[in-house]
Structure 1
Amino acid sequence: MLTRRVAELRDRDAFARLFQHFAPRVKSYLIRTGSSEQAAEDLAQEALVTVWRKAALFDASQAAVSTWIFTIARRLRIDASRRHRLEDTGDENFDFDRLEADQREVSDDVEANRMSRRVRDALGRLPAEQAQVLRLSYYDDEPHARIAAELGLPLGTVKSRIRLAVAQLRKLLDA
Protein backbone atom coordinates (compact mmCIF):
# COMPACT_ATOMS: atom_id res chain seq x y z
CA MET A 1 0.00 0.00 0.00
CA LEU A 2 2.80 2.43 0.84
CA THR A 3 4.50 1.73 -2.47
CA ARG A 4 1.26 2.35 -4.32
CA ARG A 5 0.82 5.69 -2.53
CA VAL A 6 4.38 6.66 -3.47
CA ALA A 7 3.79 5.61 -7.08
CA GLU A 8 0.38 7.16 -7.61
CA LEU A 9 0.39 10.16 -5.28
CA ARG A 10 4.12 10.83 -4.78
CA ASP A 11 3.23 10.67 -1.07
CA ARG A 12 6.29 11.83 0.88
CA ASP A 13 4.96 10.53 4.21
CA ALA A 14 4.47 7.06 2.75
CA PHE A 15 8.00 7.19 1.35
CA ALA A 16 9.37 8.34 4.70
CA ARG A 17 7.77 5.29 6.34
CA LEU A 18 9.23 3.00 3.67
CA PHE A 19 12.62 4.64 4.12
CA GLN A 20 12.56 4.35 7.93
CA HIS A 21 11.64 0.69 7.70
CA PHE A 22 13.92 -0.46 4.89
CA ALA A 23 17.03 1.78 4.97
CA PRO A 24 18.59 0.19 8.08
CA ARG A 25 17.73 -3.32 6.89
CA VAL A 26 19.18 -2.70 3.43
CA LYS A 27 22.33 -1.18 4.95
CA SER A 28 22.76 -4.20 7.22
CA TYR A 29 22.26 -6.55 4.27
CA LEU A 30 24.87 -4.66 2.23
CA ILE A 31 27.40 -4.80 5.07
CA ARG A 32 26.81 -8.55 5.47
CA THR A 33 27.44 -9.02 1.75
CA GLY A 34 30.83 -7.32 1.88
CA SER A 35 30.28 -3.58 1.49
CA SER A 36 32.07 -1.17 3.80
CA GLU A 37 29.86 0.74 6.23
CA GLN A 38 30.14 3.97 4.19
CA ALA A 39 29.50 2.19 0.88
CA ALA A 40 26.52 0.37 2.43
CA GLU A 41 25.10 3.69 3.66
CA ASP A 42 25.49 5.26 0.21
CA LEU A 43 24.06 2.25 -1.60
CA ALA A 44 21.11 1.96 0.79
CA GLN A 45 20.23 5.60 0.17
CA GLU A 46 20.63 5.14 -3.56
CA ALA A 47 18.37 2.06 -3.43
CA LEU A 48 15.62 3.97 -1.64
CA VAL A 49 15.94 6.92 -4.05
CA THR A 50 15.45 4.39 -6.85
CA VAL A 51 12.32 3.16 -5.05
CA TRP A 52 11.02 6.75 -5.03
CA ARG A 53 11.77 7.25 -8.72
CA LYS A 54 10.56 3.86 -9.95
CA ALA A 55 7.70 3.08 -7.57
CA ALA A 56 5.28 2.99 -10.52
CA LEU A 57 7.21 0.01 -11.94
CA PHE A 58 6.63 -2.12 -8.84
CA ASP A 59 4.25 -5.00 -9.49
CA ALA A 60 2.91 -6.64 -6.33
CA SER A 61 1.88 -9.69 -8.35
CA GLN A 62 5.54 -10.35 -9.18
CA ALA A 63 7.16 -9.92 -5.75
CA ALA A 64 6.80 -8.51 -2.28
CA VAL A 65 7.94 -4.93 -1.69
CA SER A 66 10.84 -6.16 0.43
CA THR A 67 12.01 -8.50 -2.34
CA TRP A 68 11.86 -5.69 -4.88
CA ILE A 69 13.79 -3.26 -2.65
CA PHE A 70 16.49 -5.79 -1.73
CA THR A 71 16.85 -6.72 -5.41
CA ILE A 72 17.45 -3.06 -6.24
CA ALA A 73 20.06 -2.86 -3.46
CA ARG A 74 21.75 -6.06 -4.62
CA ARG A 75 21.99 -4.81 -8.19
CA LEU A 76 23.42 -1.48 -7.03
CA ARG A 77 26.02 -3.34 -4.95
CA ILE A 78 26.99 -5.46 -7.96
CA ASP A 79 27.22 -2.36 -10.18
CA ALA A 80 29.38 -0.59 -7.58
CA SER A 81 31.62 -3.63 -7.34
CA ARG A 82 32.02 -3.71 -11.12
CA ARG A 83 32.81 0.01 -11.23
CA HIS A 84 35.40 -0.46 -8.52
CA ARG A 85 37.04 -3.30 -10.46
CA LEU A 86 37.11 -1.17 -13.62
CA GLU A 87 38.75 1.67 -11.70
CA ASP A 88 41.29 -0.76 -10.22
CA THR A 89 42.22 -2.24 -13.60
CA GLY A 90 42.31 1.10 -15.35
CA ASP A 91 40.44 -0.51 -18.25
CA GLU A 92 39.62 2.43 -20.46
CA ASN A 93 38.66 0.17 -23.36
CA PHE A 94 35.53 -1.15 -21.69
CA ASP A 95 32.79 -1.92 -24.23
CA PHE A 96 29.80 0.07 -22.95
CA ASP A 97 27.68 -1.19 -25.85
CA ARG A 98 27.53 -4.59 -24.10
CA LEU A 99 25.70 -3.12 -21.10
CA GLU A 100 21.97 -3.74 -20.88
CA ALA A 101 19.58 -0.81 -21.06
CA ASP A 102 18.27 0.43 -17.71
CA GLN A 103 14.81 1.18 -19.04
CA ARG A 104 12.08 -1.33 -19.73
CA GLU A 105 10.92 -2.00 -23.25
CA VAL A 106 7.46 -0.81 -24.30
CA SER A 107 6.50 -4.44 -24.92
CA ASP A 108 7.40 -5.20 -21.27
CA ASP A 109 5.03 -2.45 -20.10
CA VAL A 110 2.24 -3.72 -22.35
CA GLU A 111 2.70 -7.26 -21.03
CA ALA A 112 2.83 -6.00 -17.42
CA ASN A 113 -0.43 -4.08 -17.94
CA ARG A 114 -2.06 -7.13 -19.51
CA MET A 115 -0.94 -9.33 -16.62
CA SER A 116 -2.10 -6.74 -14.08
CA ARG A 117 -5.59 -6.76 -15.63
CA ARG A 118 -5.67 -10.57 -15.58
CA VAL A 119 -4.67 -10.65 -11.92
CA ARG A 120 -7.32 -8.03 -11.01
CA ASP A 121 -9.97 -10.03 -12.89
CA ALA A 122 -8.90 -13.26 -11.19
CA LEU A 123 -8.92 -11.55 -7.78
CA GLY A 124 -12.49 -10.49 -8.46
CA ARG A 125 -13.46 -14.13 -8.99
CA LEU A 126 -12.05 -15.30 -5.64
CA PRO A 127 -14.26 -15.69 -2.57
CA ALA A 128 -14.43 -12.33 -0.77
CA GLU A 129 -12.58 -13.52 2.35
CA GLN A 130 -9.68 -14.89 0.25
CA ALA A 131 -9.45 -11.75 -1.90
CA GLN A 132 -9.46 -9.60 1.23
CA VAL A 133 -6.49 -11.35 2.88
CA LEU A 134 -4.57 -11.38 -0.41
CA ARG A 135 -5.05 -7.64 -0.88
CA LEU A 136 -3.98 -6.93 2.68
CA SER A 137 -0.96 -9.20 2.42
CA TYR A 138 0.32 -8.46 -1.08
CA TYR A 139 -0.99 -5.04 -2.01
CA ASP A 140 -0.91 -3.42 1.42
CA ASP A 141 2.19 -5.38 2.50
CA GLU A 142 0.65 -6.15 5.90
CA PRO A 143 2.20 -8.92 8.02
CA HIS A 144 -0.01 -11.95 8.59
CA ALA A 145 -0.23 -11.28 12.34
CA ARG A 146 -1.53 -7.75 11.73
CA ILE A 147 -4.10 -9.04 9.22
CA ALA A 148 -5.28 -11.58 11.80
CA ALA A 149 -5.63 -8.88 14.46
CA GLU A 150 -7.35 -6.48 12.06
CA LEU A 151 -9.88 -9.07 10.88
CA GLY A 152 -10.30 -10.75 14.26
CA LEU A 153 -9.22 -14.12 12.88
CA PRO A 154 -6.75 -16.73 14.11
CA LEU A 155 -3.33 -16.45 12.47
CA GLY A 156 -3.64 -19.97 11.05
CA THR A 157 -6.91 -19.04 9.33
CA VAL A 158 -5.28 -16.03 7.68
CA LYS A 159 -2.37 -18.16 6.46
CA SER A 160 -4.74 -20.87 5.19
CA ARG A 161 -6.87 -18.32 3.32
CA ILE A 162 -3.78 -16.81 1.72
CA ARG A 163 -2.48 -20.24 0.70
CA LEU A 164 -5.88 -21.24 -0.75
CA ALA A 165 -6.26 -17.89 -2.49
CA VAL A 166 -2.83 -18.12 -4.12
CA ALA A 167 -3.58 -21.67 -5.32
CA GLN A 168 -6.96 -20.57 -6.70
CA LEU A 169 -5.38 -17.50 -8.31
CA ARG A 170 -2.82 -19.73 -10.05
CA LYS A 171 -5.61 -21.94 -11.42
CA LEU A 172 -7.54 -18.92 -12.67
CA LEU A 173 -4.48 -17.40 -14.32
CA ASP A 174 -3.44 -20.68 -15.94
CA ALA A 175 -6.92 -21.22 -17.39
Structure 2
Amino acid sequence: MSDFAGQENDTARRARLDGLVEACARKDRAAFAELFGFFAPRIKAYLKRLASDDATAEELTQEVMLTVWRKASLFDPKQASASTWIYRIARNRRIDLARRDGKPALDAEEPLLQPGAAEAPDDAVFARDREARVRDALKTLPDEQVALLRLAFFDGLSHSEIAVRQDLPLGTVKSRLRLAFDKLRGVLGRDDL
Protein backbone atom coordinates (compact mmCIF):
# COMPACT_ATOMS: atom_id res chain seq x y z
CA MET A 1 0.00 0.00 0.00
CA SER A 2 2.91 2.34 0.63
CA ASP A 3 3.45 2.74 -3.11
CA PHE A 4 0.37 5.03 -3.16
CA ALA A 5 1.68 7.33 -0.46
CA GLY A 6 3.80 9.48 -2.71
CA GLN A 7 6.35 7.24 -4.33
CA GLU A 8 4.30 7.12 -7.51
CA ASN A 9 3.60 10.14 -9.64
CA ASP A 10 -0.03 11.11 -10.28
CA THR A 11 -0.23 9.43 -13.69
CA ALA A 12 1.17 6.16 -12.39
CA ARG A 13 -1.09 6.29 -9.31
CA ARG A 14 -4.15 6.91 -11.48
CA ALA A 15 -3.19 4.02 -13.80
CA ARG A 16 -2.63 1.75 -10.79
CA LEU A 17 -6.01 2.61 -9.22
CA ASP A 18 -7.80 2.29 -12.56
CA GLY A 19 -6.16 -1.10 -13.00
CA LEU A 20 -7.32 -2.21 -9.57
CA VAL A 21 -10.94 -1.34 -10.39
CA GLU A 22 -10.65 -3.18 -13.70
CA ALA A 23 -9.24 -6.19 -11.81
CA CYS A 24 -12.24 -5.99 -9.45
CA ALA A 25 -14.47 -6.31 -12.51
CA ARG A 26 -12.82 -9.69 -13.00
CA LYS A 27 -13.60 -10.45 -9.32
CA ASP A 28 -9.96 -10.27 -8.20
CA ARG A 29 -10.27 -10.23 -4.40
CA ALA A 30 -6.67 -9.20 -3.81
CA ALA A 31 -7.16 -6.15 -6.03
CA PHE A 32 -10.32 -5.27 -4.14
CA ALA A 33 -8.55 -5.63 -0.80
CA GLU A 34 -5.87 -3.20 -1.99
CA LEU A 35 -8.47 -0.82 -3.39
CA PHE A 36 -10.46 -1.04 -0.16
CA GLY A 37 -7.39 -0.35 1.93
CA PHE A 38 -6.62 2.74 -0.11
CA PHE A 39 -10.10 4.22 -0.52
CA ALA A 40 -12.11 3.20 2.57
CA PRO A 41 -10.41 5.60 5.01
CA ARG A 42 -10.49 8.42 2.46
CA ILE A 43 -14.16 7.85 1.64
CA LYS A 44 -15.05 7.74 5.33
CA ALA A 45 -13.25 11.03 5.96
CA TYR A 46 -14.96 12.58 2.93
CA LEU A 47 -18.38 11.45 4.16
CA LYS A 48 -17.71 12.77 7.65
CA ARG A 49 -16.92 16.18 6.10
CA LEU A 50 -20.36 16.02 4.47
CA ALA A 51 -21.91 16.16 7.95
CA SER A 52 -22.20 12.44 8.57
CA ASP A 53 -21.59 11.07 12.04
CA ASP A 54 -18.90 8.43 12.45
CA ALA A 55 -21.29 5.44 12.38
CA THR A 56 -23.17 6.72 9.31
CA ALA A 57 -19.93 7.51 7.51
CA GLU A 58 -18.66 3.99 8.26
CA GLU A 59 -21.89 2.38 7.04
CA LEU A 60 -21.95 4.47 3.86
CA THR A 61 -18.28 3.67 3.22
CA GLN A 62 -19.09 -0.04 3.40
CA GLU A 63 -21.98 0.48 0.95
CA VAL A 64 -19.76 2.48 -1.41
CA MET A 65 -17.04 -0.14 -1.47
CA LEU A 66 -19.60 -2.91 -1.94
CA THR A 67 -20.98 -0.96 -4.90
CA VAL A 68 -17.46 -0.64 -6.30
CA TRP A 69 -17.06 -4.42 -6.08
CA ARG A 70 -20.45 -5.13 -7.65
CA LYS A 71 -20.34 -2.49 -10.39
CA ALA A 72 -16.65 -2.49 -11.24
CA SER A 73 -17.52 -3.75 -14.72
CA LEU A 74 -19.29 -0.42 -15.38
CA PHE A 75 -16.13 1.59 -14.70
CA ASP A 76 -14.75 3.26 -17.82
CA PRO A 77 -11.30 4.83 -17.41
CA LYS A 78 -11.92 6.88 -20.57
CA GLN A 79 -14.75 8.73 -18.83
CA ALA A 80 -13.26 9.25 -15.36
CA SER A 81 -10.49 8.13 -13.07
CA ALA A 82 -11.12 5.47 -10.44
CA SER A 83 -10.96 8.16 -7.75
CA THR A 84 -13.56 10.31 -9.48
CA TRP A 85 -15.81 7.32 -10.08
CA ILE A 86 -15.60 6.08 -6.48
CA TYR A 87 -16.07 9.53 -4.92
CA ARG A 88 -19.10 10.07 -7.19
CA ILE A 89 -20.57 6.83 -5.85
CA ALA A 90 -19.92 8.06 -2.29
CA ARG A 91 -21.50 11.44 -3.00
CA ASN A 92 -24.56 9.80 -4.54
CA ARG A 93 -24.95 7.42 -1.58
CA ARG A 94 -24.83 10.41 0.77
CA ILE A 95 -27.45 12.24 -1.28
CA ASP A 96 -29.66 9.13 -1.29
CA LEU A 97 -29.39 8.93 2.50
CA ALA A 98 -30.26 12.62 2.91
CA ARG A 99 -33.31 12.21 0.68
CA ARG A 100 -34.41 9.10 2.54
CA ASP A 101 -34.01 10.82 5.91
CA GLY A 102 -35.86 13.91 4.72
CA LYS A 103 -39.04 12.10 3.71
CA PRO A 104 -41.94 11.99 6.15
CA ALA A 105 -43.33 8.66 7.31
CA LEU A 106 -46.12 7.24 5.16
CA ASP A 107 -49.68 7.31 6.46
CA ALA A 108 -51.23 3.86 5.98
CA GLU A 109 -54.67 5.50 5.67
CA GLU A 110 -53.59 7.74 2.79
CA PRO A 111 -56.15 7.22 -0.02
CA LEU A 112 -53.44 7.22 -2.68
CA LEU A 113 -51.76 4.26 -0.96
CA GLN A 114 -54.93 2.16 -0.97
CA PRO A 115 -55.32 -0.53 -3.65
CA GLY A 116 -57.09 0.63 -6.76
CA ALA A 117 -60.43 -0.63 -7.96
CA ALA A 118 -60.50 -3.75 -10.10
CA GLU A 119 -59.90 -3.08 -13.77
CA ALA A 120 -63.05 -2.87 -15.86
CA PRO A 121 -63.42 -5.73 -18.38
CA ASP A 122 -63.44 -3.39 -21.38
CA ASP A 123 -60.26 -1.70 -20.12
CA ALA A 124 -58.59 -5.10 -19.78
CA VAL A 125 -59.56 -6.00 -23.36
CA PHE A 126 -58.26 -2.66 -24.62
CA ALA A 127 -54.96 -3.15 -22.75
CA ARG A 128 -54.49 -6.65 -24.20
CA ASP A 129 -55.25 -5.33 -27.69
CA ARG A 130 -52.77 -2.48 -27.29
CA GLU A 131 -50.13 -4.90 -25.98
CA ALA A 132 -50.61 -7.15 -29.03
CA ARG A 133 -50.26 -4.14 -31.38
CA VAL A 134 -47.05 -3.06 -29.62
CA ARG A 135 -45.61 -6.59 -29.85
CA ASP A 136 -46.40 -6.72 -33.56
CA ALA A 137 -44.86 -3.29 -34.07
CA LEU A 138 -41.69 -4.39 -32.27
CA LYS A 139 -41.32 -7.18 -34.81
CA THR A 140 -40.87 -4.53 -37.53
CA LEU A 141 -37.76 -3.10 -35.83
CA PRO A 142 -34.18 -4.25 -36.40
CA ASP A 143 -32.90 -6.63 -33.70
CA GLU A 144 -30.33 -4.08 -32.46
CA GLN A 145 -33.09 -1.53 -31.74
CA VAL A 146 -35.31 -4.11 -30.01
CA ALA A 147 -32.37 -5.15 -27.83
CA LEU A 148 -31.80 -1.53 -26.76
CA LEU A 149 -35.52 -1.03 -26.04
CA ARG A 150 -35.53 -4.15 -23.87
CA LEU A 151 -32.53 -2.93 -21.89
CA ALA A 152 -34.08 0.50 -21.42
CA PHE A 153 -37.64 -0.50 -20.56
CA PHE A 154 -37.55 -4.05 -19.24
CA ASP A 155 -34.20 -3.90 -17.46
CA GLY A 156 -34.54 -0.22 -16.52
CA LEU A 157 -31.03 0.73 -17.64
CA SER A 158 -30.03 4.31 -18.40
CA HIS A 159 -28.63 5.22 -21.79
CA SER A 160 -25.12 5.32 -20.29
CA GLU A 161 -25.51 1.88 -18.73
CA ILE A 162 -26.78 0.49 -22.04
CA ALA A 163 -23.78 2.00 -23.84
CA VAL A 164 -21.41 0.28 -21.41
CA ARG A 165 -23.22 -3.05 -21.52
CA GLN A 166 -23.47 -3.09 -25.32
CA ASP A 167 -20.01 -1.58 -25.85
CA LEU A 168 -21.49 1.18 -27.99
CA PRO A 169 -20.95 4.94 -28.00
CA LEU A 170 -23.60 6.80 -26.00
CA GLY A 171 -24.68 8.76 -29.10
CA THR A 172 -25.29 5.52 -31.00
CA VAL A 173 -27.52 4.21 -28.21
CA LYS A 174 -29.54 7.44 -28.18
CA SER A 175 -29.83 7.51 -31.96
CA ARG A 176 -30.98 3.89 -32.20
CA LEU A 177 -33.57 4.39 -29.45
CA ARG A 178 -34.85 7.55 -31.12
CA LEU A 179 -35.08 5.74 -34.48
CA ALA A 180 -36.94 2.87 -32.80
CA PHE A 181 -39.47 5.27 -31.25
CA ASP A 182 -39.95 7.12 -34.52
CA LYS A 183 -40.67 3.85 -36.32
CA LEU A 184 -43.02 2.66 -33.56
CA ARG A 185 -44.90 5.97 -33.69
CA GLY A 186 -45.29 5.54 -37.42
CA VAL A 187 -46.71 2.05 -37.00
CA LEU A 188 -48.78 2.61 -33.86
CA GLY A 189 -49.54 6.30 -33.69
CA ARG A 190 -48.88 8.48 -30.65
CA ASP A 191 -51.72 7.13 -28.47
CA ASP A 192 -50.18 3.68 -28.06
CA LEU A 193 -46.74 4.88 -26.96
TM-score computed with the length of structure 2 as normaliser: 0.50
Deviations 1:96-142 (A, max 9, x none): xxxxx9x76275445331249xxxxxxxxxxxxxxxxxxxxxxxxxx
Deviations 1:61-117 (A, max 9, x none): 11000111011111111111111112xx3244699xxxxx9x76275445331249x
**Equivalences for residues 32-43 of structure 1 within 5 A:** 32-43=49-60
- Alignment partners' CA distance in 2, 1:38 and 1:109: 32
2:85 to 60, 65, 68: 68
- Alignment partners' CA distance in 2, 1:24 and 1:54: 20
Deviations 1:5-63 (A, max 9, x none): 1102x010000000000000000000001111110000011000000000001011110
2:157 alignment partner AA? E
Distance change in 2, residues 1:2/1:75 (3 Å): same
Higher normalized contact order (CA 8 Å, seq sep 6+, divided by chain length)? 1
In structure 2, the partner of 1:132 is none
In structure 1, the partner of 2:168 is 114
- Alignment partners' CA distance in 1, 2:40 and 2:32: 11
Report the number of matched residues.
107
Aligned Cα RMSD in Å?
2.6
- Alignment partners' CA distance in 2, 1:104 and 1:13: 32
Distance change in 2, residues 1:104/1:27 (3 Å): farther
1:3 to 15, 21, 41: 21
- Alignment partners' CA distance in 1, 2:158 and 2:98: 30
1:3 alignment partner AA? V
Find the residue that maps to 1:73 and give its secondary structure: helix
Task: Please say which structure displays the higher CA radius of gyration.
Answer: 2
In structure 2, the partner of 1:77 is 94
For structure 1, which runs of at least 5 residues remain unmatched after alignment?
Answer: 96-100, 117-175
In structure 2, the partner of 1:27 is 44
Find the residue that maps to 2:77 and give its secondary structure: coil
